[in-house]
Amino acid sequence: MHISNKTVFSFLLSGLVLTGCQTVTEKPASLSAHNLEFTEAPSADATTATTTEPSLQHADNTQPTDLWQVTRDHMTLDLYLDNPRVQSQLQWFSKHPKYMDRVVKRAEPYYYHILTQAIERGIPAELALLPIVESAFDPFAYSHGRAAGAWQFIPSTGKHFGLKQNWWYDGRRDIISSTDAAYTYLAQLNKRFDGDWLLALAAYNAGGGNVSLAIKRNKRQGKATDFWSLNLPKETMAYVPKLLAIAELIKNAEQYDLALQPISNQPYFSAIDTHSQIDLAQAASMAGISTKELYLLNPGFNRWATAPEGPHRLLIPVEHADQFTQALTALPASERVKWTRYKIKSGDSLIAIAKKFETTVGLIRKTNNINGNSIRAGKTILVPTASQQASEYALSQHQRHIQKQKSISRSTDRKDTYYTVKSGDSFWSIAKKHNVGVRQLANWNSMAPGDALPTGKRLVIWSKPAQSVLSSAERQIIRKVGYKVRSGDSLARIAGKFNVRIADILHWNNLDKAKYLKPGQRLTLYVDVTRTQ
The residues carrying an active-site annotation are: 134
Task: Report d(CA 291, CA 297) in Å as an integer.
Answer: 10
What is the three-class DSSP state of 478? strand
CB-based contact 262:319 (threshold 8 Å): no
* Cβ proximity of 245 and 90 under 8 Å: yes
Query: Which residues, other chains included, contact 131 with Cβ-Cβ below 8 Å and sequence gap of 6+?
Result: 107, 110, 114, 137, 150, 151
Q: How many Å apart are CA 359 and CA 382, to the nearest integer?
A: 12
Instruction: List Cβ neighbours of 127 (8 Å cut-off, separation of 6 or more).
Output: 118, 183, 186, 197, 201
DSSP-assigned letters across all residues of 489-522 = --HHHHHHHHT--HHHHHHHHT--TTSPP-TT-E
Which sign, positive or negative, has the C-alpha torsion 284, 285, 289, 290? positive
- What radius of gyration do the chain's Cα atoms show? 26
Which residue type sits at 30? Answer: S
SS (H, E, C) 175-211: HHHHHHHHHHHHHHHHHHCCCCHHHHHHHHHHCHHHH
Antiparallel, parallel or unpaired: β 338-343 and 313-317: unpaired
Q: What SS3 class is residue 16?
A: strand
Say if residue 155 is preceded by a cis peptide, omega within 30 of 0.
Answer: no
> Alpha helices, DSSP H only, in 394-464?
397-411, 427-433, 438-444
Q: Calculate the alpha carbon distances from 202 to 17, 237, 494, 507 in Å.
A: 17, 8, 48, 35
Using CA atoms, how far residue 305 sits from 278, 388, 489, in Å, is 6, 11, 43
Cβ proximity of 525 and 508 under 8 Å:
yes
E strand segments, 14-78: 16-19, 39-40, 49-51
Beta bridge partners of 17: 12
3-state secondary structure at position 246: helix
Q: Are 279 and 337 in contact (CB under 8 A)?
A: yes
d(CA 382, CA 390): 20
How are beta strands 269-273 and 313-317 bridged, if at all? Answer: antiparallel
What is the SS3 string spanning 161-176?
Answer: CCCCECCCEECCCCHH
